């Protein structure tokens, strides 16, 4: 099973992979040996780091470990390949531009038959069902909304509708972002939590992923984290149900479509 | 003046910024204080590193210095801003997908009035004339060739024609790639050289940019480099003329349209 992790915050916040943890699970014995990727938004721009190599011997992972990037919106993915070769083209998250916005997409699950869905302006570069599903989904948005809809809720309904259609094919836990919003769609397993200052001593921490709030947090900071599994054991993470579509903006839950 | 540098090779080759050089020219006193970026193709995928900060204090630059990536096709750009704020969105090279291929674009010059050119499926994320020109150019390709043309030369003629149209607006030295080909269009200043094994002791080297052929080159290696200025003083670089459109593939010049 792949691992998804997303973050939405109202102030730029560090997200650091704990590479000692990745070395355990992304190594020769762990299940996530088929690459990983992370996308950090910085304003409307996005920085992407991807590596098809197991994280335990990835020089890119070593790079990021030494360089925590602050971001308000982050999507990350650790891959266990089931469809598509192990190569950089097939490594999540995937990115495309629509409306002058950088869209990012990461998927956990399998979508057999997705290649029967009709594509349009977007064509996969690699050979995964995931990238294909992303190209299809973004085309649906483009066709229905050549310009961004004035009422954002119309877009959310469309995105949920598309995710529901993908769900008929198989498993699709999804994280999607356009820089401003972080969307999470649950097929089988996704959890989230919203944390507010003061964050106290109980920093979010796990052997695999961590959020470092550092000492620079302010009383106004709000940070939501979505992850396949809860990343802490001493906090109340909310489990999303199958079909749930969560909308986060600036760290806050703004909608949960069921 | 911005600096462009591109590389095409028939085997994956290291390209390293010489960051001691960048520190001189990208620093507080140098002209290229407004960011830099580099795109490395790896198969059909592309790794991009960009930074709006001056290179002399860029942590991303430090990252890359310690991690030389081997690639057959590279495009890099050092920016001196004249249109558009200094931010990550406005930092070259720019990327978009067409035909399931990752296209990359870097521009040196100014194109006043380019915003009167009609866009289509691609919309700029940032505010540079360069990204606008890229979105326009790629739309022309998409409209004329919804699928890749069987005769590649038809595509080259269209790309040159688009570049010629941009040239009527101002200055556009361009580097463009779709992973397989590296295209270079000269408005005012571009030089190139094709080097073959044995490379001997005269490795390409400069205070600003370098190609490290290392000790792993083979007799079959072919590497072409395109740069704003020749990167060596003891070799015969060929100067492109205004309007020249150079097509490189696997390190070889395959066409020069005038």
Instruction: Kindly report, residue by residue over A105-136, the tens digit of the pLDDT.
Output: 999 999 999 999 999 999 999 999 999 999 99
Secondary structure class of B247 (helix, strand, coil): strand
Report CB contact under 8 Å: A102, B96: no
Catalytic residue among A2, A135, A162, A186: A2
Chain A residues inside the 8 Å CB shell of B43: 87-89
CB contact A119 to B (< 8 Å) = no
Chain A residues inside the 8 Å CB shell of B125: 44-45, 97, 100-102
CA distance A146 to chain B (A): 9
Report CB contact under 8 Å: A44, B99: no
Mean pLDDT, rounded, for B183-199: 90
Q: With CA atoms as reference, report the closest residue to A38 among A255, A210, A166, A170.
A: A210
CB contact A43 to B (< 8 Å) = yes
Give the helix ranges, DSSP H, for chain B.
Answer: 19-25, 59-65, 129-144, 152-167
Report CB contact under 8 Å: B100, A45: no
Q: What is the CA radius of gyration of chain B?
A: 17
CB contact A45 to B (< 8 Å) = yes
DSSP codes, chain A: --EEEEEEEEEEEEEEE-HHHHHHHSSSSSS--S-EEEEEEETTEEEEEEESS-GGG-HHHHHHHT-PPEEEEEEEEE---SSS-SSGGGPSPEEEEETTEEEEEEEES--TTGGGSPP-S---SS--HHHHHHHHHHHHHHHH-SS--SSHHHHHHHHHHHHHHHHTTS--EEEEE-SSEEEEE-SS--EEEEEES---S-----SSEEEE-TT---TT-EEEEEESS-S-SSS-PEEPPTT-EEEEETTEEEEEE-
Mean pLDDT, rounded, for B229-241: 85
Report which DSSP code applies to B132.
H
Chain A residues inside the 8 Å CB shell of B101: 125
Q: Which CATH class is domain A3-257?
A: alpha beta
HSE of B200 in the Cβ direction (CA atoms, 13 Å)?
4
Mean pLDDT, rounded, for B148-154: 97
Mean pLDDT, rounded, for A56-73: 72
d(CA A232, CA A114): 35
Determine the pLDDT at residue A25: 47
d(CA B78, CA B66): 19
CB contact A128 to B (< 8 Å) = no
CB contact B147 to A (< 8 Å) = no
Best-predicted range by mean pLDDT among A37-46, A128-137, B45-54? A128-137
CA-nearest residue to A135 within chain B is B100
Report CB contact under 8 Å: A43, B87: yes
- The pLDDT > 90 percentage for chain B reads 58
Instruction: Name the residue facing A125 among B66, B87, B100 (closest C-beta).
Output: B100
CB contact B123 to A (< 8 Å) = yes
Catalytic residue among B2, B72, B135, B162: B2
Q: With CA atoms as reference, report the closest residue to B9 among B70, B69, B73.
A: B73
* pTM listed for this prediction: 0.91
| pLDDT single digits (tens) A213-231 | 555 677 888 989 899 988 7
CB contact B57 to A (< 8 Å) = no
Please report which confidence band the pLDDT of residue B1 belongs to, taking 50, 70 and 90 as the band edges. Answer: very low
Chain B residues inside the 8 Å CB shell of A139: none
Report CB contact under 8 Å: B44, A125: yes
CA-nearest residue to B90 within chain A is A45
Cβ-in-10-Å burial (0-12, 13-18, 19+) of B235 comes to exposed
Peptide bond into A32 cis (omega under 30): no
Peptide bond into A93 cis (omega under 30): yes
Catalytic status, residue B72 = no
Determine the pLDDT at residue A213: 59
For the beta carbon of residue B103, count every other beta carbon within 10 angstroms: 21
Instruction: Name the residue facing A125 among B88, B97, B122 (closest C-beta).
Output: B97
């Amino acid at each position: 099973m792949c691992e998804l992790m997303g973050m939405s915050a109202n102030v730029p916040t560090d997200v650091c992979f704990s590479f000692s943890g990745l070395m355990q699970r992304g190594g020769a014995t762990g299940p996530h040996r088929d690459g990983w990727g992370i996308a950090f938004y910085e304003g409307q721009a996005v920085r992407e780091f991807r590596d098809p190599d197991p994280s335990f011997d990835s020089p890119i992972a070593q790079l990021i470990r030494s360089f925590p990037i602050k971001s308000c919106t982050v999507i990350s993915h650790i891959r266990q390949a089931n469809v598509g070769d192990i190569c950089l083209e097939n490594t999540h998250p995937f990115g495309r531009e629509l409306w002058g916005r950088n869209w990012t997409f990461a998927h956990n699950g399998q979508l057999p038959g997705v290649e029967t869905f009709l594509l349009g302006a977007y064509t996969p570069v690699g050979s995964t069902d995931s990238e294909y599903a992303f190209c299809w989904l973004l085309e649906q948005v483009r066709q229905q909304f050549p310009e961004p809809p004035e009422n954002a809720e119309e877009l959310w309904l469309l995105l949920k509708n598309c995710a529901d259609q993908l769900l008929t094919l198989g498993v699709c836990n999804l994280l999607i972002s356009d820089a401003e919003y972080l969307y999470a769609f649950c097929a089988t397993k996704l959890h989230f939590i919203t944390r507010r200052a003061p964050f106290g001593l109980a920093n979010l921490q796990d052997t695999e992923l961590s959020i470092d709030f550092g000492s620079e947090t302010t009383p106004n900071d709000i940070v939501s984290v979505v992850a396949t599994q809860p990343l802490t054991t001493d906090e109340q993470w909310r489990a999303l149900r199958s079909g749930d579509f969560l909308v986060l903006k600036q760290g806050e839950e703004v909608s949960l479509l069921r």
